[in-house]
Amino acid sequence: MPHDLKAKSTHIGVKPYNISMMDAHRISGAPPAMYYIPNFITAEEESHILQSVRLARFHLSFGHDPDTRVRFLLTAGSPSPTAASKLFHPA
Amino acid sequence: MPSWLVSPVVGRLRDLEGIFDGAPHGINHCLINEYLPGQGIMPHEDGGAYWPVVATVSLGGSLVLDVTAKQSNSNSDADFETTGRDKTASWRILQEPRSLLLTTGSAYTDTLHGIAEVAEDVDLNEQTVANWGLLSDQDAIAAKDGRSERTTRVSLTLRDVLKVSAVGSKIFGKARPGGR
């Protein structure tokens, strides 16, 4: 495989998925329609996002409660620290 | 939306042709859940507050999402009487680290989804896992006799919230379903 093609094929973000490519990822047997794409992000990207999530929690002083799933929400535009802290303390 | 979500995740989702077409705001919302081993969520549906397309990116660990058809009253009683068991259709979706799961259409509107509160998902094979043929690493699971130990998993659930302010106040007020 030529080097440039190989480079492209290792990273799906380089080339937009189109409908016919999506068909190859459709979960057959499930109701229409569910799609599964393994390795949508790379291991490096995964590490960076996990680190960013941890940092966001730290900066918002979110106490880790082992009995509660961590859940927070990011909407378009950055939430203010006050609004965000509410997100970090769901009832 | 912070830059570490726009690139690579949100930008790459926008490149999925057709998937988020018609969503009024595109992707304007990301719910981040952490699931420790043994944690899960009761079967639920996400409802009409969202455009009926949801993208779930899994980070750090694998787990099984249980998807169940909503009960329809048409045939279920008869099925139960003739077979003696509930024939409700269900699907197990194994979500590996770094994977994307997209749920659209009637898969969104006509099913419930939940996650079992177990420390290990078991009995995973070609017959029991709906997305088995699409997995990154079937061999690793087969080598462990169909078992997948839960480790800490973080999920990103990306959607279009239709009424941002009204829904926002509801979400802020109390914890609500939506986990995947």
pLDDT in tens, B24-49: 888 888 888 889 999 999 999 988 88
Residue B78 CB contacts under 8 Å (≥ 6 apart), including other chains: none
Of B29, B101, B179, the CB nearest to A34: B101
Query: Which residues are paired to A77 by β-bridges?
Result: none
> Which residue from A31, A46, A72 is facing B98, i.e. has the nearest CB?
A46
Distances (CA, A) of A74 to A39, B28, B33, B95: 23, 8, 12, 22
Q: What is the pLDDT at residue A19?
A: 65
Q: What integer pLDDT is reported at residue B177 of this predicted model? A: 55
Which residues of chain A does B54 touch, with a Cβ-Cβ cutoff of 8 Å? none
CB contact under 8 A, A29 and B41: no
pLDDT, position B17: 76
Q: What kind and span of H or E run contains B114? A: strand B111-115
* Mean pLDDT within B105-116: 95
Tracing tokens 């998807």 back to the chain, one arrives at B67
Question: What's the CA gap between B180 and B154, in Å, rounded?
Answer: 10
CA distance B56 to B131: 15
Tokens of B177: 């379903």
> For B129-165, what is each residue's pLDDT tens digit?
999 999 999 999 999 999 999 999 999 999 988 876 5
Phi-psi region of B111 (alpha: psi -120 to 50; beta: other; left: phi over 0): beta
Residue B161 is predicted with a pLDDT of 85
Residue B172, pLDDT above cutoff 70: no
Q: What is the pLDDT of residue A73?
A: 55
Query: Which value, in Å, is the radius of gyration of the alpha carbons in chain A?
Result: 19
Contacts of A57 (CB under 8 A, 6+ apart): A64, A70, A72, A88
Nearest to B40 by CA among B113, B129, B104, B142: B113
Q: Which of B31, B32, B33, B13 is nearest to B23 (CA)?
A: B13
- Say what the pLDDT of residue A21 is: 81
- Is A75 in contact with B179 (Cβ distance < 8 A)? no
* Bigger pLDDT: B55 vs A5: B55
Taking the CA of residue B32 and the nearest CA in chain A, the distance in Å comes to 5
Average pLDDT, chain B: 85
pLDDT of residue B174: 38
- What are the 10-residue block averages of pLDDT along chain A, 91 residues in total? 39 56 92 95 96 77 43 47 40 33
Per-residue model confidence (pLDDT) at position B47: 83
ipTM (interface pTM): 0.86
Asked if B101 and B56 touch (Cβ cutoff 8 Å), the reply is yes
- What is the C-alpha separation between A55 and B79, in angstroms, rounded? 52
A30: nearest CB among B59, B97, B107: B107
| Res. B60: pLDDT tops 80 | yes
Q: How many CB pairs under 8 A join A and B?
A: 173
Confidence at residue A86, expressed as pLDDT on a 0 to 100 scale: 41
